[in-house]
Each structure stands twice: as structure tokens, then as C-alpha cells.
Amino acid sequence: MSELTTLHTAITEAVQAAMPLLATVGAYAEATEGTALPALFHSITDMRSGTDPGDGRSAVIATVRARITVATGTPQARLHAGMLAAQLIDLLRQQRWGLDFVEGACNVHASTDASTGAVAGDVTWNVQWEQVVLLGRTEWPWPDQPPGTLAFAFSPDTGPAHKDAYQAPEDLA
């Protein structure tokens, strides 16, 4: 689905712009021995159905994980990695990445990762969050109505006997 590709591109661009201390930002990859550090790689790690928006699109709750890696030789590497994780958490606050088919990031969580990175001793933090992504196109199965076909009346002056009292929405302003 093109929405997921667009989402990953938007995340990459926003993180690059907001976090210039990162030497590498990418999607669906891992830091290797030749990767310029510090690095952040993000990917969708889980998806489940969300609440149907009722407009023809499918709602998916995507779990996104960003893995931040800092070289072990960096002064105060653990602190630096934690600060980058905190900066990402701040960036995620109600973040929609400028996309109209994505709801704000929520359920953000960060933790250190004890697994060995590309180089033994590299410091890694994982930041995880959820976002609702609306997939597909909006569908409106009813024919478009010409102007003036919608009219309002206020109780108790409603019904066929009060047809002449109904007003068009534009007349209510």
C-alpha cells in the first residue's frame, strides 16, 4: 500500500529535519559495521485492525519501532543515546507527519536494548509508538445532491404541515 511507503518517507524526513545530530536515518534496516553513527532506523513491527471510520477506508493501528544506535566510543554514549530517545519522544507528541491519513502518535515507550549492535558495545535505545493509519480511498456511495435539497426546521414546527417554514443551511448563517 502506498500509504505505508508515504508514511515511512515522511517519518524519515521529519526525523532528519528535527534531529540533525543523527548521522543516519532510514527505514527497515539495521545499523551495520559501516553505518555512520548515531543512527536511527524505524519500521512497522505490528499491525491490527482499528475502528472502522465508516468512509470506505480501513483503519490499521500500526506499532512503529525506532532503534537508535550510538557508537560505544562516543563520550557518555549511554547518556547521548538516552537524550536522542528523549528527543524522539518529544518529536512524537501528537505527530501526524504532515499526512491526512495518519492520526497522532500515541502510547509512546522507550527502553534500552541490551542486545549486541553491529559493533559489540554500541548503545541502543528502542522507541516504540502506535499510530492509526487509514488505508484506501474515501468512498461516498450516495449520489451528490444539488444545492438546496437539505432543509432544517425546529420542533415543534416540523412535518408536512410546516413545509414552508423549513430553511436551507445557507439561510441559517
**Percent of the chain clearing pLDDT 90 (strictly above):** 66
Are 146 and 125 members of one domain? Answer: no
Are 32 and 111 in a shared domain?
A: yes
pLDDT at 45: 98
Note whether 24 and 96 are same-domain residues. yes
Q: What is the pLDDT of residue 163?
A: 87
149 and 129 in a common domain:
no
State whether 121 and 146 are in the same domain: no
- Please check whether residues 88 and 160 belong to one and the same domain: no
| Co-location of 157 and 79 in the same domain | no
- Same domain flag for 114 and 167: no
Q: Is residue 58 predicted with pLDDT exceeding 60?
A: yes
What's the predicted TM-score (pTM) here? 0.79
Do 123 and 146 sit in the same domain of this protein? no
Number of domains in the chain: 2
Q: What is the pLDDT of residue 146?
A: 65
In this structure, are 30 and 46 located in the same domain? yes
pLDDT tens per residue across span 101-159: 999 999 999 999 877 555 677 999 999 999 999 999 988 776 776 665 788 888 898 88
pLDDT digits (tens, 9 = 90+) for 61-107: 999 999 999 998 889 999 999 999 999 999 999 999 999 999 999 99
Q: Are 121 and 156 in the same domain?
A: no
Helix H, strand E, coil C: the string for the chain is CHHHHHHHHHHHHHHHHHCCCCCEEEECCCCCCCCCCCEEEEEEEEEEECCCCCCCCEEEEEEEEEEEEECCCCCCHHHHHHHHHHHHHHHHCCCCCCCCCECCCEEEEEEEECCCCCCCCCEEEEEEEEEEEEECCCCCCCCCCCCCCCCECCCCCCCHHHHHHCECHHHCC
The answer to whether 57 touches 76, Cβ cutoff 8 Å, is no
Give the C-alpha separation, 62 to 71, whole Å: 29
pLDDT in tens, 19-41: 999 999 999 988 888 899 999 99
Look up the domain containing 62 and give its range. 2-135
Q: Does one domain contain both 16 and 75?
A: yes
Residue 59's domain is classified under what CATH number? Answer: 3.30.2000.10
d(CA 140, CA 153): 26
- Give the per-residue pLDDT at 31: 83
